[in-house]
Amino acid sequence: MGKYFGTDGFRGEANVNLTVMHAYKVGRFLGYYYGKDHKANIVIGKDTRRSSYMFEYALVAGLTASGADVYLLHVTTTPSVSYVVRTEGFDCGIMISASHNPYYDNGIKVINGSGYKLEAEVEDLIEAYIDSEEDTIPLATKEKIGRTVDYAIGRNRYIGYLISLATRSFKDKKVGLDLANGSATTVAKGVFDALGAKTFVINSEPDGTNINQDCGSTHIEVLQKYVVDNNLDVGFAYDGDADRCLAVDEKGNIIDGDIILYICGVYAKSHNDLANNTIVTTVMSNLGLYKALDSKGIHYEKTAVGDKYVFENMMTNGHSIGGEQSGHIIFSKHATTGDGVLTSLKIMEVMLESKAKLSELHKELIVYPQLLKNVKVHDKKAVKQDAQVNEVISQVEKELGEEGRILVRESGTEPLIRVMVEAKSEELCKEYVERVVEQMRKQGHVL
């Protein structure tokens, strides 16, 4: 990770450690970088945060000042930006969003011309330009100054693409959607309505400050209750920029990313559509998933946390399904990034083609109890290098043996250390997590 760009773009609190000047300079550099031998064409999308408009205008100012033409998708999802970039010949795309973070945070995600996350070497060049005292990039003048184009049609084409992927009508299916007061508000309901579902929507009135607030995939309990109370067949919850999805079955059970990978992987294998008979996971996936995949004869690979790493593995090895427990699921046949609405459609496909309720599709997967605690710390690297903290972690690993595991890692975007334990019981999970956190506290790391 660089100084500004982490695993998921440049993220921080709006006008604190991610400012309009940062956005302006990102725009200035990208307009120059992609416009060296032609007039750059760059597309921008944003989520519903109040600061997203501010950053959009700052980026546009920088891009057009460097001579780029800018096409505005307005409020849309991250995967829609990726789709538009790779299918309509743009030099790159920018998504303004901090995903599942609170409304006061924001982020700038840059997507290259192939629809993938921007290369690290280009991010390094952007960071060097941001920190440079002298502005060496020339300003465009006269007819070379860029223009701004309303490009809502790009988002509409993406919606049409999603609709085209459905294998059956959703007629008579009662589907609940928790739109997290975010990007999905402009996409998801239209897709499900067009496919014939009886669509029930909650958290679809963004006001600039309520994105992810007690709603969406980070507060799935809201949708759980809604599905049961309204006797729905299934529910889907998205995060702020709709690149992740969690589901709820008709009984109100949470269907997290691991279970989605299992359901879709088993279905794909049964239809000879699981490339290399392999699913790509991250180190955060549950032991229960691996045991269930073993029982079905499905192989798996593990990457570092981040859909970026999942996708890199999939592209390198030709795998077709991969994702994270958090709900970033990638279907490489259809997309180059996690796509929450696409994931919903894939789950609907399995339900409809199998003629089964969602609860029946995951009954063979037994999830191990898991506890994840996010600990706010002074210095993430100091924690990871602390010998006494590492000694306690090693002791826990030894005691868990093959019947559990512990994972301690840094957040890529926040000042947090994430301590996760899986074990046979919730009591053991709590005991081991607290043992590690207490040692961190004794060493003076915890804020």
Q: In what order do the strands lie in the sheet with 92-96?
A: 5-6, 9-13, 105-112, 92-96, 41-46, 69-75, 148-150
User: How is residue 122 written in tokens?
Assistant: 């280009």
Cα torsion 158, 160, 162, 167 to 10°: value is: -160
Choosing from 99, 183, 326, 332, the catalytic residue is 99
What is the distance between the alpha carbons of residues 72 and 150, in angstroms, rounded to a whole number?
5
- 61: how many CB neighbours lie within 10 A of its CB? 18
Residue type, 266: V
Is 243 annotated in some ligand binding site? yes
Q: By the 8 A CB rule, do 256 and 332 touch?
A: no
Is 114 annotated in some ligand binding site? no
Q: By the 8 A CB rule, do 227 and 200 touch?
A: no
Q: CB under 8 Å to 311, separation ≥6 — which residues?
A: 116, 117, 322, 330, 332, 336, 337
Max distance between CA atoms of the chain, in angstroms, equals 70
Is 241 annotated in some ligand binding site? yes
Task: Please say if 285 is a catalytic residue.
Answer: no
Q: By the 8 A CB rule, do 174 and 230 touch?
A: yes
Residue numbering of the annotated binding site: 99, 239, 241, 243
Q: Which residues are part of the catalytic machinery?
A: 99
Residue numbering of the annotated binding site for Mg(2+): 99, 239, 241, 243
